[in-house]
Structure 1
Amino acid sequence: MAVIKQERVSKKTGKTKKIYMASQWHPLLKKRVYGPSRQNKKDAKQDDAKLTLQIKKEVKEEKVKKQSEEFFGKVADTWLEANKKTYADQTYRTYRGYLDHYIFPVFEDVPISAIEPKHILNLKKSLEDGNNPKKRKYGAETVNKCINVLCDVFNFAVSPLKLIDGKDNPMIGIKRNKVPYIAKPTWSDEQISVFLTSREAKESHYYAMFCCQILLGPRPSETCGLAENDYDPDRQCFYMHRTLNKHGVLEDNMKGSNSFRAVYLPDTLNKIVKKKLLWKKEMRLQYPDLFDNDFLFNTEIGTPVRPDHLYRMFTRTEKRYNSNHNEKLPVITLYGCRHTFATTNYERGESDKVLSEIMGNTPATFLQKYAHIHGDRKQQSLDAFENIIFKTGNEN
């Protein structure tokens, strides 16, 4: 505690006055701060006491604030907001969900520098064996997604935040689980032809969208988000640059940079889409209030087609076909049309580079999902070659 005394000379009267002021060093401001001028030393001492308490309070608040900034939850929130513009809206919501549902219940209020590899492994194990707040066992894909999010957060803490040293990153050595391959049901060329030429498919209001999904392999949200201006009937082309999500929100952020693309429409598909666009223009003349939007595809009442609605319409049409025919089609989802496009064309010998460009994937992502197709063909080729050799009787 300190009270300083000063003598000041009045310019008017020439008399000398004694004044007292509280004076304290402020560690946050890194300079000395002063209280008001007092003629009474007792008042200055009271000011000094108040000033001391105020400084202690500010130092404590700053300490708490600094500590809170180093908590995992604060770092994770900062990382997600810093990268919000680089992620598609759906990706951002997915990461937000993984943080809130799986990671924050364990790490939110833990100092990020206190988290060690053993804590990460404990979280991983709790998700696998169901010993978590939700008492659920999660598969390899969910666990791996959590590990991916944790890696991004801790890398962000290393740089640019510099809250932990790179060698102390707890994600070093943490391995992802092996995801078992599960073959997704798809349609053959013959089954695609049978479905798209069937009465059940052609009678559907969404027939043009079904054709786009099966023949071009886009994501359903991309088909739903197409605008009239994104379709060039003369060049027979779609320009993919936006999506419509299941909540009816139009998004300009695509899945990745490769998702922004131009896709060629074969002749028959071009005619089908052009016919659907002409139908919309005719309906707009009759019902201008209902069809007043720029979407290429609309429902019967003129509203945009959401992916979940298109999913239901495809499933309904598929069920109707199978109930009316003896030879049933394998049951696939709307997204299964995308897998069907990739599988049938890759089996036909089309290159992964061409298919990935059409579908809006990177070649690496495409191969990760569909490399097993050529792997199976290689195995069949080697088995056939072995059978030819050993049939000659030279196996001994």
Structure 2
Amino acid sequence: MGAGKIYKNEKAKKNPYWFQIMVNGKRVTRRGFRTKGEAQKARDELSTQLNKGEYIDPSKALFRDYFLEWLENRKNLADSTVDMYDSYFRNHIDPALGKIPLSKITPTDILNFIKTLRNTKTKSGENLSDEMVKRVYSTVNTALNSAVTMEIIQKNVASKIPKQDKPKVVRQERQIWSNDSIRVFLKKTKGETRYWIAIFLAVMTGMRQGEILGLKWSDIDFDKSVLYVRRSLKKDKTGFTNLKTASSRRTISLAPYTIMLLKEQQEKIAMEKEYLGDDYQDNDLVVCTSKGTPAKATRVLHAWNRLCEKFKPEHEPRITFHDLRHQSASIMLNDGTDTRVVSGRLGHSTVTTTLDVYSHLIPTAQENAAVALEKTLGFNVEQQQEFLQ
């Protein structure tokens, strides 16, 4: 058994490190490590297993065991993403594929897995949404792709199923309100709940709910009129989690009225802190309970739903708290804001993501562009008729 050198693929765009080690006279290769340290750790763990006689050929291991090890080694994932994958595994993947050896999974197994997902009922008695089916399938597909990259198996059987059988999602336009409706709603509801500021920030910044609940006063630079998105509050309120991508850690400019309301919020919290004294648990949070503790997501959603029941305009559709993020994007795009700016404020990884989600708003922007071209060149209808004569 050789100790195994650590190599680096200079042409690889990501996860370039790999190693080889001799196992029972056979050269075993493991690829796809983000850093040299991760590759060394994996090599040392494999060597330890060999020395103790505990080594099991990964291709012969159950998919359950492979998946859990794969998930544990994905150090670059946000905590929320790991929790999501773990939920997919426990509720859907393990019951269907967990007991099958990794090397024995077939395209038929994947097809049956997709069929099972589509027939799975939620707590409300409805089938899983197409989006959820695709997410769970994509998780399995990603795990199998990694097994191929690591040279544990030769091919990803999930990629072999016919294209028409793979889960698809027909993107639906997000429901949003008119600008007048959201403006009137915000004015009428101010002061109705301590969590109103979270609703206001969702519209004015496009931040996700967890990002708003994880926002601290130290993240706001009042002199520069910006805030820094640095963390997200976990849904179970047990702590903060890292953001998904580098683009999620972003700087958002704030307008004067938003600055004024944030300072007003800061004064309210200062008064609560002074009133409770030592009983106040100061977490430096912009949105918090009256005792200073993190605001549970369900409590904020309850406040939002209660306000909608009382103040929602009759002619407007019912929307969720998360739709306020889309409301923010809609206002900016319809107002002609550069898509790159919108993408940056929302924390999307690429402008393509923004275009995919909000493509239905682009025609409006193109109409504005067409009018702007004529206006800039000094043409109007009368001039056009004169020109054509």
TM-score for both structures, normalised by structure 1:
0.72
Deviation at 1:68, TM superposition (A): 8.7
Matched, 1:146 2:136: yes
List structure 1 runs of 4+ shifted beyond 3 angstroms. 61-69, 129-132, 173-176, 327-330, 375-382
Distance, in Å, in 2 between the alignment partners of 1:270 and 1:79 is: 44
- Alignment partner for residue 352 of structure 2, among 364, 370, 381? 364
Do the aligned partners of 1:291 and 1:301 also contact (CA within 8 Å) in 2? yes
Tell me which residue corresponds to 1:7. none
Matched, 1:330 2:320: no
- Alignment partner for residue 96 of structure 2, among 100, 106, 126? 106
The amino acid of 2:104's aligned partner reads A
Tell me which residue corresponds to 2:387. none
Structure 2 SS opposite 1:263: strand
Distance, in Å, in 2 between the alignment partners of 1:201 and 1:366 is: 30
Which entry has the higher C-alpha Rg, 1 or 2?
Answer: 1
Tell me which residue corresponds to 2:41. none
Distance, in Å, in 1 between the alignment partners of 2:243 and 2:291 is: 27
Unpaired runs of 5+ residues, structure 2, are 1-22, 26-49, 371-380, 382-389
Deviates more, 1:169-178 or 1:247-256: 169-178
Distance 1:142 1:330, change over 3 A: closer
Distance 1:186 1:29, change over 3 A: closer
Distance 1:365 1:381, change over 3 A: closer
Structure 1 SS opposite 2:266: helix
Tell me which residue corresponds to 1:119. 109
Matched, 1:315 2:305: yes
Deviation at 1:64, TM superposition (A): 8.9
- Alignment partner for residue 73 of structure 2, among 82, 105, 130? 82
Unpaired runs of 5+ residues, structure 1, are 1-27, 31-58, 383-387, 389-396
Structure 2 SS opposite 1:238: strand
The amino acid of 1:228's aligned partner reads W
Structure 2 SS opposite 1:86: coil
Matched, 1:244 2:229: no
Do the aligned partners of 2:333 and 2:365 also contact (CA within 8 Å) in 1? no
Tell me which residue corresponds to 2:7. none
Tell me which residue corresponds to 2:216. 227
Distance 1:377 1:212, change over 3 A: closer
The amino acid of 2:73's aligned partner reads A
Do the aligned partners of 2:225 and 2:259 also contact (CA within 8 Å) in 1? yes
C-alpha RMSD of matched pairs (Å): 3.2
Distance 1:124 1:29, change over 3 A: closer
- Percent identical across equivalent pairs? 26
**Residue-pair matches, total:** 318
Distance 1:138 1:210, change over 3 A: closer
Do the aligned partners of 1:277 and 1:297 also contact (CA within 8 Å) in 2? no
The amino acid of 2:360's aligned partner reads H
Distance, in Å, in 2 between the alignment partners of 1:213 and 1:106 is: 39
Q: Please list the CA deviations of residues 310-361 of structure 1 after superposition, one character each: whole Å capped at 9, or x if unmatched.
A: 1111221222224xx7x55432211111011112221222222111100111
Distance, in Å, in 2 between the alignment partners of 1:29 and 1:215 is: 62
- Alignment partner for residue 172 of structure 1, among 159, 179, 190? 159
